[in-house]
Amino acid sequence: MTMRPRETSWSRFVGWIQDRSVVIRLGLAFLALLLLLLVLKAWQSPFTHRLGNYSSDGIAAKIGFNRIDEEATNVARRAAEQAVPLIFNNSTEDLLRLPDRLRAALGEISQTDTLENLPAATRADFGLGPVDTREPMKRAAQEIYKTDVPQRRFTALKEAVAGMGTGDKSRIDDMVADFSKFISPLTDNGLLNHRSYKNLQGNLEELEPDRKLMSVDVQTGVATEVLVPKVCLADQLNEAGDLGGKWLSYPSLTKSIQGALSHWLMCQAKPTLEFDQAATKLAQAKARDQVANVYQRFLAGDLIVRPGEFIDEKRLQILNDEYQAFEKTVGIGARLLRLSVVFLMMGILASLNAYYIIHNEPRIVRSLWRLTVFLTAIVATAALARPMSYDPWRAEIIPLLVTVMVLAVAYNQVIATLAAFSISLALTFSTTGQFGHFILLISTCAAAVIPVSRVGSRSTLIKVSLVAAVTHFIVSTGVGIVQSQSLSDVLQDQALLRQSITGAVWCVFAGYFVAGSLPFIEQLFGVVTDISLLELSDPSHPLLQELVRRAPGTYNHSISVASIAETAAEAIGANGLLVRVGAYFHDIGKMLKPQYFIENIAAGSESRHQQLAPAMSTLIIIGHVKDGVDLAEEHNLPQPLIDFIEQHHGTTLVEYFFHEATKLAENKPDHRTDAEESSFRYPGPKPQTREAGVLMLADAVEGASRTLTDPTPKRIETLVHNITLKRLLDGQFDESSLKLSEIRTVEASLVKSLIAIYHGRIRYPEARTA
């Protein structure tokens, strides 16, 4: 007899390393750890300052640095833009036609004897009648050159046109010739609509007198820089203007008619300058780009935030510039050291999480898909939360809260809390580095996770998010009070209060997001919530209706198993609703061959197995598991219910037919190979969860209890104990996370339920007939 060497920890470790599935899972975990270091930028020190933070001791610059003074730079650039002349295109064609129009107007005056017979338009142009003051030029003409005695102005015009001893036509020719010379300067610079111009929106925009303009002749392309008065006709006609001082140079334009001619000119002259926005914007952009940045110098030790002050937007920008300058001075050695320390810390956190998962939620590790989804959720949360933690959003609570609520729904509160602790700690180290921030994150997550034990409706998640929102607001405000040591300062700090309210809103948003994503969460994580379970428990479900019709005995068995299994599951804190719904569907595969199962055979009828070999009968019995899985997948049942169908027999032995085969092999030696135990065991797998283990026991004892001729409490207790012990010794609960104490509790619950079902009844005397 050879002695097997004792297994040591080293030999177990070597065995794990040689196991390909273990190596793959370790590789996934290591990859997730590296991705966490990457998304958290573990080689950088965190930028710890946030808008509204209180500084009790003040914040001084760590190093000397120069920063671009955005405010001063923008002021200089705006000044450069303002100094750029507005560019106008000058088209003088209308000005060149003014002399001909004046000739016609003077001709009308010479041929009219009275003011009343003069055309209304001509009267208005010379200021002899009402004027349309909606146009700025005409309104200005009316204000400057209006006459109170129109008849006197008309008479002066008549006399000027008639002249003394010369004909009207000759006099008019002289006046028009002088007028052409008089207005010639206007063609050089152009005209505005009385200190205003029409922008691209079609609105008139008034200009200041000292504003520079650039007049570009559309014919020659010659550009002339002028001030606004040079292109404003009213300014040009006054005594200080280029035109107003030249009246004496033209003898035919006598003083008596200068007011009338000025009024006519302002009414007839149309603006010749059209604003060129594209050219102006281009010139302004060029001027702006030529302005160098204005720098602000800080020396090491200079106070950026004074003691007792809150960080506002301007100080926050300065602190960020100081942080960027400091980061540039950090060497590769210091970065590698920080990266190594963070890697070690993250490794410790990952190990603690892994230890709990392996020992308490092994289903995550056993399923490569579940492990991948779990690790992806952690990395994605960190990747989203870090950039969202900065101003102005400060919304890192959204991905964090969504993830921990999903983990609480998909697995349990402990895993969700561990994940919340780990992510919050890593996030705090990589963002603010403040203990108060960590307290805020973990307390908000705890407020959201603790109530999420069962999700019976979507409103549950909304209520939980409201609790988290209130918690976030209270803790955020409380941290501010502790840091500033003053309630009045906190109440005056609008940024802090605004951020506390915003954080509470983010919590509610996260709750609504999770509530709306429940179907996707169930599919992604391979779990089923109470909402879906309640829908599946409806007796009108097509599979249950078909089971009632084809295999009524199996249906009744399933209902009984569901009743006692739910009670047993709840006794150990497992999900009773999940067990009950799983029991409804665990034997649906029997409906394809119902006559081969004892509960569907009528009393006194011959069993079909009597005509079959034990091995063939075993194949039919075992086959109901595979048939059930196929039916469940065909009807899109969730994976947890399919797991119940696969695992409710585990790898147990079909004892009756195995014993029959053994007897046959003893009588017929050539049939010994037909009695191998492995051929009479279910393919499994063994129960992977506590709920599956409870269902296995409930299914076994419910079916066995039907064989008791006199189901007394003692016999029921013995039956349940023997079956439980047999499953335990057979190793059926090895992978289910069921503890011995929980198995004893389940056993006691099943005994109690079966005794209640088979309790003794009072035997009533038979009624006598008369």
pLDDT digits (tens, 9 = 90+) for 482-519: 876 566 666 666 777 888 899 999 999 999 999 988 88
Treating both helix axes as pointing N-terminal to C-terminal, what angle do 494-516 and 435-449 enclose, rounded to 10 degrees? 30
pLDDT band of residue 139 (cuts 50, 70, 90) is confident
Element (H, E) at 104: helix 98-110
What's the chain's average pLDDT? 87
Q: Where are the beta strands (DSSP E) in 412-570?
A: none
What pLDDT was estimated at residue 672? Answer: 55
pLDDT band of residue 442 (cuts 50, 70, 90) is very high
Question: What is the rounded distance in angstroms from the CA atom of residue 288 to the CA atom of residue 511?
Answer: 48
pLDDT digits (tens, 9 = 90+) for 151-185: 888 888 888 887 544 456 788 888 899 999 999 88
* C-alpha dihedral sign at 12, 14, 18, 23: positive
Q: Average of pLDDT values for 210-231?
A: 90
Q: Where are the beta strands (DSSP E) in 51-181?
A: 54-55, 59-60, 65-68, 86-90
Highest mean pLDDT among 189-203, 234-248, 268-282: 268-282
> φ, ψ for residue 72 (rounded to 5)?
-65, -40
Using alpha carbons, list the distances in angstroms from residue 629 to 4, 625, 651, 693. 41, 6, 16, 18
88: amino acid identity, one letter: F
Question: What is the rounded distance in angstroms from the CA atom of residue 480 to the CA atom of residue 440?
Answer: 11
Strand partners, 87: 214
What pLDDT was estimated at residue 393? Answer: 86
pLDDT value at 711 more than 80:
yes
Question: What is the rounded distance in angstroms from the CA atom of residue 256 to the CA atom of residue 89?
Answer: 36
Query: Comparing 51-60, 288-297, 600-609, 670-679, which segment has the lowest mean pLDDT?
Result: 670-679
The 3-state secondary structure of 109-141 reads HHCCCCHHHCCHHHHHHCCCCCCCCCCHHHHHH
pLDDT value at 765 more than 80:
no
Of 674 and 550, more confident: 550
What pLDDT was estimated at residue 669? Answer: 61
pLDDT value at 337 more than 90:
yes
What pLDDT was estimated at residue 670? Answer: 60
Q: Of 468, 257, 350, 401, nearest to 34 (Cα)? A: 350
pLDDT digits (tens, 9 = 90+) for 263-312: 898 889 888 998 898 999 999 999 999 999 999 999 999 999 999 888 88
Q: Which two tokens stand for residue 149?
A: 């005695």
What pLDDT was estimated at residue 166? Answer: 47
- Burial 255-286, CB ≥16 within 10 A → b, else e: eebbbbbbbbbbbbbebbbebbeeebeebbee
- Return the biggest CA–CA distance within the chain: 162
pLDDT band of residue 605 (cuts 50, 70, 90) is confident
pLDDT value at 763 more than 60:
no
pTM over 0.75: no
What pLDDT was estimated at residue 196? Answer: 73
pLDDT value at 376 more than 50:
yes
DSSP 605: P
What pLDDT was estimated at residue 766? Answer: 56
What pLDDT was estimated at residue 607? Answer: 79
Question: What is the rounded distance in angstroms from the CA atom of residue 122 to the CA atom of residue 232?
Answer: 23
pLDDT digits (tens, 9 = 90+) for 659-677: 888 888 777 666 555 678 8
190: amino acid identity, one letter: G
What pLDDT was estimated at residue 109? Answer: 87
What pLDDT was estimated at residue 1? Answer: 40
730: amino acid identity, one letter: D
- Domains plus CATH for the chain? 36-51+331-527 (1.10.1760.20), 92-194+232-271 (no CATH), 531-757 (1.10.3210)
Q: Of 123, 129, 127, nearest to 108 (Cα)? A: 123
Question: What is the rounded distance in angstroms from the CA atom of residue 427 to the CA atom of residue 441?
Answer: 9
What pLDDT was estimated at residue 665? Answer: 76
Of 553 and 458, more confident: 553
What pLDDT was estimated at residue 87? Answer: 92
Question: What is the rounded distance in angstroms from the CA atom of residue 573 to the CA atom of residue 755?
Answer: 22
